[in-house]
Structure 1
Amino acid sequence: MKTGKAPGAGAALYFALSFAPVLYLLTRVRAGGDALLSARRLGLMANSLLLGLLVASLCMIAGLAAAQGIRRGPLARRGCRWFFLLLAPVPPYVYALSWLSVARLWRLNPTGMLPSVAVEVLAYLPVCTGISLLALERLPKEPVQLALLMGREKKAFWDVVLPSVFPQVLASGGLVFILSVTDFSIPSLFQVNVYAMEIFSDYSAQGRTYHSFLLSLPLTAVAAVVMLLCMDPVKSILMAAPSGAAPPVRGGAAVAAAAWAGVAVCLFQVAFPLAALSPHLPSLGQAILLSWEELAVSCLTGVLAGLLALAPAALAAECLLALRGKKWLWYLLLFPIALPGSIIGLGLLELVNKSPFHRLGRTVWMPALGLAVHYLPYLLLLLVGAFARLDRDKLALGRVLARTRAKYLFRVRLPMLSGGLLAAFSVAFMLSMADVGTVLMLMPAGMEPLSVKIYNYLHYGSSELVAGFCYFQVLLCMAVMLLTGLFLSARKKERRGMDDGRQERGQGD
């Protein structure tokens, strides 16, 4: 299937934005220097891999259990079954501060590998839960019904349901593993030395761009291999048509108990920061007054990042859907997920500073561009899934009936794409608001975003003021996610009503 000029140009722009920082850093590589993987750095890599494996394994178990509980429970076919996404964009350091507040109250050890794992599990659990729930809801009807007819419900779960969704569950764990090993913000707060922090520290101490890039290669290689293994299951879940016809399978008493435990963990994931930070609620007003400049910078950066990333990601998504059989193109466009945010920021900083657009580095457009580049593949995944479920017959009919391309674009195509585009923009905005690694490299002097301010404050210990900052971010995330969910729900009901009206008119005729 051939793709149009616009999607092809969008894919080219996506590729240029995603790979330009890395390709520029490749030109800066020099020979010589100290050993990249010394004994100390091998230890840091081992810490990163151990942390990533523990977080991914626990997220997969809890996420699959929660998805099974939601699928079997009273929320099975209701929009509020996605409640666990309510605080999905909340920065991980909010969970870190919540833990530090509880640890100080109960006199627990606030640092180490265990709290790092616990905080990252809470932060990344929505990824595994969401993918597992999508996999369960897209199970084909016939194998499940046949298994239920041939044997017991427990056997149907273990022999049919679990093997069918297991690749997608593993893929969700792979994505969580990549997110964990390429991030240094949470381990550094809990005094756990990881490899991603070594990259940032090396550049901060020596300023050698080429050396920091070389340091990132082992970590990028590990993440790239995991991304390659995850690609086919992720592609299958994005391209699968939502059937909802396969009956939910209980799987026995042990599976049912695990399912309810998983749902409880998801509820805890939403309630924990609200409850842990609630004693600091009186400081919320003061925190807002003292951080309004940083908040304005964060909001402006997030809006610009979302706008910059939306068009390339949407056009690249159209290109992937048109060329869905090209596996190499999927992997090429999703490869930037494996790149640490600090490397993307570093490469973009060097590239812009050595170009005629060097003045861009002193404006808010610089971190906005870096965040747009960093989160392009995440928006691409979201938009591919949203666009794949569009009614292609309606699009084809609209193309025929519209007299001009402009009318087709603005009266048919964009209204049908509006839900996915709004969701992608909201995700880009919230991820940009929470980002630390990329922004640390790119923020101009005097334009500190709220995320960096909170991150710096956390290194001096939790306080009433920083708790107020974090509580405000939690409320902001909840508001954005609720508004986005309500809009998407209203659009879905509107489309359903229009389809029902057309069917009634057709039957009347």
Structure 2
Amino acid sequence: MQENSHHDSRQPGRAALGGVLIGGALTAFVVLAAAAPRVAGLLVSSAAVAVPATLLAMAFGTPIALLIAKTDVPGRRTALVLVGTLLLLPLYVIASAWMAALGDQGGAPALLTGDGPAGGWLVGYSGAIFLHAVVATPWATLLAVAALRSVDPRLEEAALLDASARRVLGTVTLRGAAPALAAAGVLLAVLAAAEMTMTDLLQVRTFAEEVYTQAAAGELLDPTASGTWRLAVGVLTLGLVAAAATLTLVRRLRPSGMAPSRHPWRLALARPRVAAACLAIMVGLLTLLPVVALAYRAGGIVVPQETGPTRSWSLTKLVTSVGSAPWQHRRELIASTGLALTVATTATFAAAAIAWSLRGRRLAGDLGGVGLAMLLAVPGPVIGLVVIRLLNQPLDSPMALLGDLYGTWFAPWFAQMVRITPAIALLLWPAALAVPAEWIDAARIDGAGSFARWRWVAAPSMAPALGAAWLAAFALSLGELSATVLVVPPGTPPLSVRMLSLLHYGVEDRVAALGLVLVLGYLVIAAAVGRLLPLGRRAG
């Protein structure tokens, strides 16, 4: 009870801080609209992609989350692993899969239009909205699962005494999870607005694309450039909104949700097989359809003729393409794996230290969460340019020694650390809060110092979450592109950079085959994360 009262006592302060953040975001946008209407217009353009995409993702992901979290439908664990695989997959793999299915010369347009040229369905704003919705749906699903799990099962069980199970699901469970679901939607919209991979492929002009263009032109961090401060205000607007949404999530998602003491209430379905079929169809549309499209593209054979190209498919070519893809890209795979191993290890240590330092501190913890959320909302090109400005020092500079690191693998490592550590810290923060205070107090009474308390009390308690965080950081590092593309050293590029360059020329069999290999690898990582996290263990 003491822990709950302590948690509740933080709500007014967090609500006030959230109001300040939203007010600051609105003020920044009004100033931007008055002083820089073009940048404000780009933010509106980003919202025109991000908001519909997020609404679609929440509309599709919430029913999946309901079936996984609050019913006894068979196959919950498998569905959760497949959704987790999509969550960890790099954006360029998801883009290549759906471009193979619906893009120019994709599988579906080709089947419906015959052997002639097929104009793709993924074009312009509609294509960008669709791709962003596909990317956001796994996040929407897992955040909705966490939100539904955060509803106190005692309230649901008490309501069952006076109402039917379906009524309890609608009036107690969904109503209790609604604020967290809304905050999750806002956060996903901000993250979509800050991402440039999909809009860059489809040539849709958004705020993140403008940041990347300014970065490529070298004007982003030039204090004499007229657009620098305008873009900075735009980034600040996105960061403040993301911070307010994160605070709401932290307030609504109970720390005890990482390791609940009560078994969650589930709705007993009258027709579980029908529900399982619905779940399989929804998850299959997200996962199996793009995989089939990649397989179709990897095994496709195109023979040019005078009357037009003819298409056919060969299982032998599919097996050969998938088997040879890792060897053809072995240099990129080795470079990416080495970078990911280093980033995952250092980011997990740094994130664990941050999460532990925020534990038990009211204002400092909230402000720390705000800072982490704002870092998540910073577009990758901004981070890449900051790293370039920091390391590209002239010989007469007091920091000239940093210049020796410019053009080395230190630059992409540092950029990815800045990009990935905030996400891993937010993942570990609930795990740090879930460590019983009694254990920490007992160790302090026995004379254990801060490091000893971490070594012998916190680390063993957080071990599953730390393992999952390391795997998540490894997967995120393999897929990071927007900051890495600006700071990659000469020579063999990481796989993400090479894949982006290939995607600009269309999804062909070699890219599709490599995408299938990566899907298999990420499926293994997602299964391991699902076994480590309590959320995954409780879904089965």
Given the superposition, is the C-alpha separation of residues 403 and 149 from structure 1 closer, same or farther in structure 2, using an over 3 Å criterion? Answer: closer
> How far 1:368 sits from its partner (Å)?
0.8
In 1: Cα distance, 2:478 partner to 2:290 partner? 17
Given the superposition, is the C-alpha separation of residues 468 and 213 from structure 1 closer, same or farther in structure 2, using an over 3 Å criterion? Answer: farther
Structure 1 match to 2:183: 171
Structure number with higher helix proportion: 1
Equivalenced residues, count:
455
In 2: Cα distance, 1:247 partner to 1:288 partner? 45
> How far 1:425 sits from its partner (Å)?
1.5
Given the superposition, is the C-alpha separation of residues 264 and 392 from structure 1 closer, same or farther in structure 2, using an over 3 Å criterion? Answer: farther
Q: Residues 364 and 447 of structure 1 are in contact (CA less than 8 Å); yes or no, is this contact kept in structure 2? A: no
Deviates more, 1:240-249 or 1:381-390: 240-249
The CA deviation string for residues 110-148 of structure 1, in whole angstroms up to 9 with x for no partner, is 322222222222222121111211221221133323333
Given the superposition, is the C-alpha separation of residues 336 and 257 from structure 1 closer, same or farther in structure 2, using an over 3 Å criterion? Answer: farther
Structure 2 match to 1:157: 169
Q: Secondary structure at the match of 1:357?
A: helix
The TM-score normalised by the length of structure 1 is 0.80
Matches within 5 A, 1:315-464: 315-326=353-364, 327-354=366-393, 355=399, 356-397=401-442, 410-464=455-509
Structure 2 match to 1:26: none
Structure 2 match to 1:310: 348
- Structure 1: state its 5+ residue gaps: 1-34, 494-509
Give the aligned residue type for 1:371.
Q
Given the superposition, is the C-alpha separation of residues 352 and 206 from structure 1 closer, same or farther in structure 2, using an over 3 Å criterion? Answer: closer
In 2: Cα distance, 1:263 partner to 1:167 partner? 28
Given the superposition, is the C-alpha separation of residues 428 and 259 from structure 1 closer, same or farther in structure 2, using an over 3 Å criterion? Answer: same
RMSD (CA atoms): 3.2
> How far 1:336 sits from its partner (Å)?
0.9
Structure 1 match to 2:4: none
Structure 1 match to 2:26: none
Structure 2 match to 1:86: 85
Given the superposition, is the C-alpha separation of residues 440 and 362 from structure 1 closer, same or farther in structure 2, using an over 3 Å criterion? Answer: same
User: Which residue, 94, 104, 127 being the options, matches 1:115?
Assistant: 127
Q: Secondary structure at the match of 1:88?
A: helix
Structure 2 match to 1:51: 49
Q: Residues 66 and 263 of structure 1 are in contact (CA less than 8 Å); yes or no, is this contact kept in structure 2? A: no
The CA deviation string for residues 227-274 of structure 1, in whole angstroms up to 9 with x for no partner, is 233133321315244355452358999xx9999756633333232332
Give the aligned residue type for 2:322.
L
Structure 2 match to 1:3: none
In 2: Cα distance, 1:258 partner to 1:295 partner? 40
Structure 2 match to 1:11: none
Give the aligned residue type for 2:383.
I
Structure 2 match to 1:504: none
Q: Secondary structure at the match of 2:88?
A: coil
Structure 1 match to 2:237: 222
User: Which residue, 239, 243, 248 being the options, matches 2:266?
Assistant: 248
Given the superposition, is the C-alpha separation of residues 361 and 238 from structure 1 closer, same or farther in structure 2, using an over 3 Å criterion? Answer: farther
Deviates more, 1:244-253 or 1:152-161: 244-253
Give the aligned residue type for 1:46.
V
Give the aligned residue type for 2:211.
I
In 1: Cα distance, 2:63 partner to 2:277 partner? 7
Given the superposition, is the C-alpha separation of residues 405 and 222 from structure 1 closer, same or farther in structure 2, using an over 3 Å criterion? Answer: closer
Given the superposition, is the C-alpha separation of residues 457 and 36 from structure 1 closer, same or farther in structure 2, using an over 3 Å criterion? Answer: farther
The CA deviation string for residues 290-342 of structure 1, in whole angstroms up to 9 with x for no partner, is 21111111111112222222222111111221204543333134321121111
Structure 2 match to 1:105: 107
Q: Residues 112 and 192 of structure 1 are in contact (CA less than 8 Å); yes or no, is this contact kept in structure 2? A: yes
Give the aligned residue type for 2:330.
W
> How far 1:413 sits from its partner (Å)?
3.9
In 1: Cα distance, 2:156 partner to 2:372 partner? 34
Structure 1 match to 2:153: 141
Q: Residues 148 and 174 of structure 2 are in contact (CA less than 8 Å); yes or no, is this contact kept in structure 1? A: no
The TM-score normalised by the length of structure 2 is 0.76
In 1: Cα distance, 2:134 partner to 2:268 partner? 26
- Structure 2: state its 5+ residue gaps: 1-33, 110-119, 299-317, 394-398
Structure 2 match to 1:293: 331
The CA deviation string for residues 160-190 of structure 1, in whole angstroms up to 9 with x for no partner, is 2222101111121122112210111111212
Structure 1 match to 2:289: 272
Q: Secondary structure at the match of 2:205?
A: coil
In 2: Cα distance, 1:81 partner to 1:394 partner? 36
1:466 and 2:505 correspond: no
Matches within 5 A, 1:231-246: 231-236=246-251, 237=253, 239-241=255-257, 242-245=260-263
Q: Percent identity?
A: 22
In 2: Cα distance, 1:367 partner to 1:74 partner? 45
Q: Secondary structure at the match of 1:362?
A: coil
In 2: Cα distance, 1:156 partner to 1:487 partner? 30
Given the superposition, is the C-alpha separation of residues 225 and 249 from structure 1 closer, same or farther in structure 2, using an over 3 Å criterion? Answer: farther
Given the superposition, is the C-alpha separation of residues 177 and 410 from structure 1 closer, same or farther in structure 2, using an over 3 Å criterion? Answer: same
Q: Residues 235 and 378 of structure 2 are in contact (CA less than 8 Å); yes or no, is this contact kept in structure 1? A: yes
Q: Residues 155 and 251 of structure 1 are in contact (CA less than 8 Å); yes or no, is this contact kept in structure 2? A: no
Q: Residues 97 and 515 of structure 2 are in contact (CA less than 8 Å); yes or no, is this contact kept in structure 1? A: no
Q: Secondary structure at the match of 1:151?
A: coil
Q: Residues 140 and 243 of structure 1 are in contact (CA less than 8 Å); yes or no, is this contact kept in structure 2? A: no
Given the superposition, is the C-alpha separation of residues 411 and 228 from structure 1 closer, same or farther in structure 2, using an over 3 Å criterion? Answer: closer
Q: Residues 343 and 473 of structure 2 are in contact (CA less than 8 Å); yes or no, is this contact kept in structure 1? A: yes
In 1: Cα distance, 2:530 partner to 2:243 partner? 31
Q: Residues 53 and 177 of structure 1 are in contact (CA less than 8 Å); yes or no, is this contact kept in structure 2? A: yes
> How far 1:492 sits from its partner (Å)?
8.1
> How far 1:348 sits from its partner (Å)?
1.6
Give the aligned residue type for 2:240.
V
Q: Residues 342 and 437 of structure 1 are in contact (CA less than 8 Å); yes or no, is this contact kept in structure 2? A: yes
In 1: Cα distance, 2:220 partner to 2:86 partner? 38
User: Which residue, 63, 66, 78 being the options, matches 2:64?
Assistant: 66
Given the superposition, is the C-alpha separation of residues 333 and 204 from structure 1 closer, same or farther in structure 2, using an over 3 Å criterion? Answer: closer
Given the superposition, is the C-alpha separation of residues 387 and 286 from structure 1 closer, same or farther in structure 2, using an over 3 Å criterion? Answer: same
Deviates more, 1:72-81 or 1:279-288: 72-81
Give the aligned residue type for 1:301.
L
Q: Residues 50 and 192 of structure 2 are in contact (CA less than 8 Å); yes or no, is this contact kept in structure 1? A: yes
Given the superposition, is the C-alpha separation of residues 325 and 63 from structure 1 closer, same or farther in structure 2, using an over 3 Å criterion? Answer: farther
